[in-house]
A and B are shown apart, each in its own frame.
Chain A
Amino acid sequence: MAMAAFETIDTDVAVIGSGGAGLMCVLHAAAADPSLDITVVSKGAVGRSGCTRMVQGGFNAALDPDDSPELHFDDTLKGGAYLNDQELAWTLVCDAPKVISELETVAGCFFDRRPDGRIFQKPFAGQSFDRTVHRGDLTGIEIMGRLRDQMFRLGPRELEDARALDLILDSSGELAGVSVLDVRTGAVALLRARVVVLATGGAATMYRIAAPAREKTGDGVAMCMRAGLELRDMEMLQFHPTGLLAGESRLTGAVLEEGLRGAGAYLRNAEGERYMERYDPERMERSTRDVVSRAGYLEIMEGRGTPEGGVLIDISHLGIEEVERRFPGMVQRTRQIGADLARGPVPVSPTAHFHMGGAIIDRDCQTSIAGLLVAGEDAGGTHGANRLGGNGVAESTVFGARAGDRAAVIARERDLREPDHGQLGRSVERAFAPLGRDSGASPFELTRALKEVMWDGCGVVRDGERLRAAAETIDDLAERVRTVAVPGPAEVNYAWQEALDVRNQLDVARAVVVSALSREESRGAHHRTDFPERDDERWLRYVVVGLDSDGELQSSSRPVALERRRLASKA
């Protein structure tokens, strides 16, 4: 397949991704220096891709005089089983109130109010104070709609339907920019930038039952890996306990929000038993996501699941009207599959939801590559071994904002670099290879196979044997992805895009499995039946993986710096 000659676009700040982190980054960079040339690269529609848009629950921020960043911090560490990078977690809780204020007063969001007109905050699992800000059960639409509208005020260059392929360095190894594929035309561009901000979102779509939007295929993390960056906590993949089960439908895996359990929903197995009694008798259904997901998974595995392979969530005891009033979006979602949350139980399963792991960053989103910032789900450390509901959109917007501030500073200091054309050529060649083959594996088959192996081999509950088998299968799939074939043309070819997605997912999947194998204990979202206990003596350490110069994945571990909080009593 012949490929078009590529153009070069020069920009000061290249933002890859247009979700909460990406657009907050634009907002802040432009505010810090209105003269900056900013480019947003979005694989899907700008502001309408990714997962910030899908946020139902809300945004944690200590706003009440009786609440405090300290309390929010303690909850975040406890939820994260003390694996958190404490500097990042502290930054999150300190900045979150500022960002809420900014979303309201600059971006124009309007969150739900108390009767006295001040911002209402609701309870959420794993938190010691009612601190979750929201707008009904469609919080993400309010945040992303308003941020998208800010782009009309700021006017960044928008490369919509454009996929970032690889980070491109110069001949001395300094960051020069990003290779970008225009999905509509099939043309490649080199985006030269003083600063590159990766904010593409996680890779939880690599599981059979998964919640995120389609764009979330670990593109940013895979780009970091290929550029030689180290990643942390990659084994920490969160399963949300209540994903919809809808058979073959793409609706399978869509989340029924956490607020249902907060409002008093019961979880029952097929025998009608409220099984949380056996896993967390004190907190029951309001326990943290890791605990509730594992309980549901074990019930299903031990034969107490429903015919659909799930457990049942039931909130109908609140009354039809009450459920319809408080959870309109969720009721509608269940009616779509022929169930009805307002009137009876609905089958659910744990669903792959969020990646706590990612690139290693400092509190200003800087990485070990000068000029490269990473924000949001592409970065690791803030949430440790498990993320609290309501801390996800807080992380994307807080760190997106910080990345924007930092990018404005760096853009004044860094020059544009001349890319290594050999590397650029290889990036493009690799991307176009599937179009040049007459026959080979189908990308959709590979995606399916990956989803199966990750669900079975590296899912809610893990063990060494299945992890090793999963690693082998992933190696096989990585071989097959090198033979994937897609019929042309290059223009608007979503089968080809799928092939590029699955390549990134496989890179990330291998990092997840290798990290899961090396953590020989259970903590947060990572549970191993062969090492079922949390082991603070040996494992108050985070796992680091990265590709060496031969392209081999290496893993090691480093002690968690307990600079702000020592270990409290075991969670």
Chain B
Amino acid sequence: MAEVEQATVSVRVARSDAGAETTFEVERFEPMTVLDLLLAIQREQDLSIAFRFSCRVGMCGTCTVRVDGRAALACTTPVERDVRDVRLEPMAGLPVVRDLIVDMAPFWDEWARVTPYLVPRAGLDEPAVIEPDSEERRRIDPSLDCITCGACYSSCGVSASGRDFLGPAALTRAMVLVADSRDAARDERLRAVGQSDGVDRCRYIYGCSAVCPKGLDPAGAIRALRRWRLGGGP
């Protein structure tokens, strides 16, 4: 980290106001993330640039943008030493509020439709006794830790094109709850994901699983739901 190259990075940003500056030369430092690029632009070159972030450690899921066309968290995407140019755009398929900030409402509308919260089964009065290596937990655990960042939505050819589809994030949440023995809404949820805008609309492009910054596998979750829908559950 001692010898910092005195180079700059050329950053092209999709702006929503006509006439706003779109290209910035940013002096680089090490280590540097895409979020650092944006903060440097805001601090030193253009106070009006709009982007969202909160935790800057990949936990809040609010800084998603497209970096050279691919949806990613700005805060966990490094700007490697050999990078000369970076292109930043808002997520695909969501209305732009300003510059890189999008309105997540369509994403949440889909999320809400799978009944995204646990509906506790009768008698669940204290923490359930469930062994950590049980089949149930082995299904669920790898699909938790969704930070609802929307990267999968943006990269999904079906969701992002505005067609009626519950989408990879909501379906992953549905899978997690359907597999949860503490939940009482399994049938209702399986019906919801089995409708025409549900699992059958997935085209298995695997964009979602490729971009998930948390390493989740929404495509795998959708496959599981397709099987369970026929058998009534896992």
On A, residues with C-beta under 8 Å from B are 44-45, 48-51, 53-54, 100-101, 104-108, 110-120, 135-136, 138, 140-142, 145-146, 148-150, 152-153, 184, 213-215, 246-251, 254, 307-308, 332-333, 336-338, 442, 444, 486-487, 491-495
Contacts and interface: CB of A to CB of B under 8 A. Distances in A.
Nearest to B35: A250
Contacts of A332: 58, 76
A212 B130 CA distance: 34
A118 B126 contact: no
A251 B77 CA distance: 12
Interface in B84-122: 97-99, 101, 104, 111-112, 115-118, 120
Contacts of A115: 131-133
Nearest to B108: A152
A231 to B, nearest CB: 25
24 contacts: A44-B60, A45-B52, A48-B60, A54-B59, A101-B126, A104-B127, A105-B182, A110-B144, A115-B133, A117-B130, A120-B132, A136-B145, A138-B59, A149-B117, A152-B116, A213-B55, A214-B55, A247-B31, A250-B75, A338-B1, A487-B47, A491-B98, A492-B98, A493-B50
A495 B41 CA distance: 12
Contact of A152 (B59, B112, B126, B133): B112
A494 B78 contact: no
Contacts, number: 178
B125 interface: yes
B230 interface: no
B144 A142 contact: yes
Given A214-B56, A250-B35, A251-B57, A487 B48 contact: yes
B56 A254 contact: yes
Contacts of B128: 104-105, 117
Interface in B38-55: 39, 42-43, 47-48, 50-55
Given A104-B128, A145-B147, 10 more contacts: A48-B148, A105-B126, A110-B130, A114-B132, A152-B112, A250-B35, A337-B31, A338-B31, A492-B50, A494-B42
A48 B54 contact: yes
Nearest to B121: A105
B146 interface: yes
B118 to A, nearest CB: 3
A100 B126 CA distance: 9
Nearest to B50: A492
Contact of A53 (B47, B52, B59, B97): B59
A249 B57 contact: no
A208 to B, nearest CB: 15
A112 B31 contact: no
A106 B120 contact: yes
A135 B74 CA distance: 25
- The SS class assigned to the B binding surface is loop
Contacts of A308: 1
A107 B118 contact: yes
Given A108-B118, A249-B32, A495-B42, A49 B125 contact: no
A214 B62 CA distance: 12
Nearest to B113: A152
A533 B101 CA distance: 51
A315 B136 CA distance: 33
Contacts of A248: 29, 32, 36
B207 interface: no
Contacts of B42: 444, 494-495
* Nearest 5 CB-CB pairings of A with B: A108-B118, A495-B47, A117-B129, A492-B98, A149-B117
B98 A152 contact: no
B56 A250 contact: yes
A100 B127 CA distance: 8
Nearest to A101: B126
Contacts of B134: 117
A486 B54 contact: no
Contacts of A152: 111-112, 115-117
B131 A53 contact: no
Contacts of B43: 444
A338 B30 CA distance: 9
A141 B130 CA distance: 21
Point out which of A51, A104, A111 has the most chain B C-beta atoms below 10 A from its C-beta: A104
Contacts of A111: 127
Nearest to A254: B57
Contact of A113 (B52, B132, B145): B132
Contact of B127 (A105, A254, A491): A105
B182 A108 contact: yes
B224 interface: no
B219 to A, nearest CB: 20
Given A117-B132, A251-B56, A142 B117 contact: no
A105 B43 CA distance: 46
B11 to A, nearest CB: 16
A145 B146 contact: yes
Q: Which of B43, B118, B129, B137 has the most CB of A within 10 A?
A: B118
Nearest to B128: A104
Contact of B125 (A51, A53, A105): A105
Most central of A44, A107, A250, A444 by chain B CB within 10 Å: A250
B33 A108 contact: no
B83 interface: no
B124 interface: yes
Chain B CB within 10 Å, residue with most, of A48, A101, A138, A146:
A48
B210 interface: no
B34 to A, nearest CB: 11
A450 to B, nearest CB: 14
